[in-house]
A and B are shown apart, each in its own frame.
Chain A
Amino acid sequence: MNQLWLTAKLDIVESLRARWFQIYTLVFGGIVALLFVFGLTESRVLGFIGLSRLLVTYIQLTMAILPIFVLITTVRSVAGDREAGVFEYLLSLPVALQAWFWGKFLGRYLVVFAPVFLAMFGAVIWASIVDIEVPWNMFAYYTGLLAAMALCFLGIGMLISAFARTTDMAQGAAFMIWLVLLLFLDLILLGVMIQGRVDPELAVTLALVNPLQVFRTAALAMFDPQLIVLGPSAYVILDLFGTDGFRLFALAYPALLGLGSAALGYFLFRRGDLL
């Protein structure tokens, strides 16, 4: 446990001094600041007012930025450290491989999750100060979504880092995975369904395997519990899970996908060359 925490602390300190973290923090802090500056909390669109509108916009922007940011920075720093000789030295110290890998995972998770959460939390604090109503249910659920999202893409990033031997290869693989997930949002699926080659239920199932689609749908479900905007797909989803069931699924599935990917990454890491 001590080794795990020591490694996590080490990764946190390394990350805090890295440029990617400064940019990452600036991006999410900047998004919240800009949303306030542009008066989003004072506007009313489709019934969203006050902080709920800001939170909906923030979660949509985060869904677009966080996955690729986490994937690229994770694989860059982990594969980069391996290439630069950081692993050669630090793994010559008597640290257990499980403590090393999971400590790194834990440290990186805290560093990735903290800025996105704190930016949103900052918005809530500010809203409380200036007397804007805070939708606490929405805030709590979006916090869970952000936590699951960070876990999911960090786990995938750690898996890529475990099998990719070079930074270039790792970055390429991370980008390809993100692109596939992005293309399998609605674009390809709708095309496939229109052509009638795939059973609509299978298409919806494929969409629900895609964590990006799950987050998107879950974010919608907070203000559109019947998922009317999704059209016929909503019937399949709600038949399968129910409203609350889907909300739970949207937290559990990506989190398990991330942990499963990280576990597979650990298995690959420990059975082959460590460098």
Chain B
Amino acid sequence: MIQFKKLSKSFRRASVLNGIDLDIGIGERVALIGSNGAGKTTLIRCLLGEYDHQGEVRIDGLDPRSNRTAVLGRIGFVPQLPPPLKMPVGQLIDFSAALCHTDPARIHAIGKRLGLDVDGILSRQFVRLSGGMKQKLLIAIALGRDARLLIMDEPAANLDPEARKIFFDLLAERLEDATMIISSHRLDEVSSLVNRVIEMDMGKVVIDAQVADDATLTDRLLCRIVLKRFEPAFAKAVEGWQLVPDAGQLVWQGGIAGPDRLRFLGIVSRYTALVADLSLREG
């Protein structure tokens, strides 16, 4: 579906991409990782036809630069930093929907599934929303149309655990018909979402590997944590994860989204001294 052939990009004399050759097929979920300056964002911008470059970029055989509307009509994009748009949310939704030939109601519906009170913020300026609300809205705009390629830059970074779970469900619904490219600094943030990892460094692909795909996006793990003693800081930390305590607040139980387990364990690890027992079971 996507082909990069000898893709190179320089800014003045600084070379940012050095002869990238890649093929990405339909249905692949690719983690694009690498440190700052590795070339991830430049690669994405070339893919979106926003940068002039050397070499070839093709999406379904079309050059995104010379076939903008045809190619971008199939791409849903979520940027890492939400743009500081002053327009009201309603107008952003209508504008995007009109350009992408989709029904704004689809975007509204996905926004609501992500926990966004869409009707309540229609007249609010986009720039005045919280970071999480902006992220949810941009995800809703990207997913609320028939995109065959989803390009997301740290898409879940600002989402709470519940919204992340729904986000994974939404991605799972698109597994059959969409290719996904998810960019991140860190593999552990996105590893559970993908089945292929491409690591970039100094403008080159240094690792291109398939990854085990045991945990599906819709997996749910039953979690049980027993504490040695109650600690309010722990209760606050797991507040968003829907864990429910017993009467003594020493045993906490609930469901964790499969793809989120590493992130969850990372949070619990801060309270290792408190934890007497921890189990995660598929269920």
Contact = CB atoms under 8 A, between A and B. Distances in A.
B125 interface: yes
A89 B79 contact: yes
Contacts of B85: 14, 86, 89
B91 A93 contact: no
27 contacts: A3-B99, A6-B95, A6-B98, A10-B87, A10-B95, A13-B88, A13-B91, A17-B87, A17-B125, A85-B83, A85-B84, A86-B84, A88-B83, A89-B138, A92-B72, A92-B77, A92-B79, A93-B96, A94-B70, A94-B71, A94-B72, A94-B100, A96-B68, A271-B52, A273-B50, A274-B50, A275-B50
Most buried by B among A85, A94, A272: A94
A95 interface: yes
Interface string B111-149: 000000000000001000000000000100000000000
B45 A272 contact: no
B263 interface: no
B83 A89 contact: yes
A97 B71 CA distance: 13
A84 interface: yes
Nearest to B45: A275
Nearest to A271: B52
Contacts, number: 81
A15 B95 CA distance: 16
A275 B52 CA distance: 10
A85 B81 contact: yes
A219 to B, nearest CB: 35
B73 interface: yes
A85 B126 CA distance: 14
A90 B100 CA distance: 12
A100 to B, nearest CB: 9
Contacts of B69: 94-96
Contacts of B234: none
A2 interface: yes
A237 to B, nearest CB: 45
A78 to B, nearest CB: 14
The 7 closest A-B pairs by CB, nearest first: A94-B72, A92-B77, A94-B73, A89-B83, A86-B83, A94-B69, A17-B86
A90 B83 contact: yes
Interface in A228-275: 271-275
Contact of A91 (B48, B73, B81): B48
Contacts of B51: 273-275
A206 interface: no
Contacts of B98: 2, 6
Given A87-B50, A92-B50, 18 more contacts: A10-B87, A10-B95, A13-B91, A84-B83, A85-B81, A85-B83, A89-B82, A92-B72, A92-B75, A92-B79, A93-B100, A95-B68, A95-B72, A97-B68, A271-B52, A274-B51, A275-B50, A275-B51
Interface in B130-184: 138
B95 to A, nearest CB: 6
A10 B88 CA distance: 10
Contacts of B75: 92
A226 to B, nearest CB: 50
A87 B81 CA distance: 12
B99 A6 contact: yes
Interface size on A, as a range, is 20 to 34
Contact of B84 (A13, A84, A93): A84
A90 B96 CA distance: 9
Nearest to A7: B95
A10 B91 CA distance: 8
Contacts of A202: none
A4 to B, nearest CB: 12
A227 B82 CA distance: 56
B132 to A, nearest CB: 17
Contacts of A271: 52
A272 B50 CA distance: 9
Contacts of B50: 87-88, 91-92, 273-275
Contacts of B48: 91-92
A90 B85 CA distance: 10
Most buried by B among A85, A88, A95, A97: A88
Nearest to A84: B84
A18 interface: yes
A14 B99 contact: no
A87 B69 CA distance: 16
Interface string B39-79: 00000010011111000000000000000111111010101
Nearest to A3: B99
Contacts of A9: 95
Contacts of A273: 50-52
A96 B49 CA distance: 11
A10 to B, nearest CB: 6
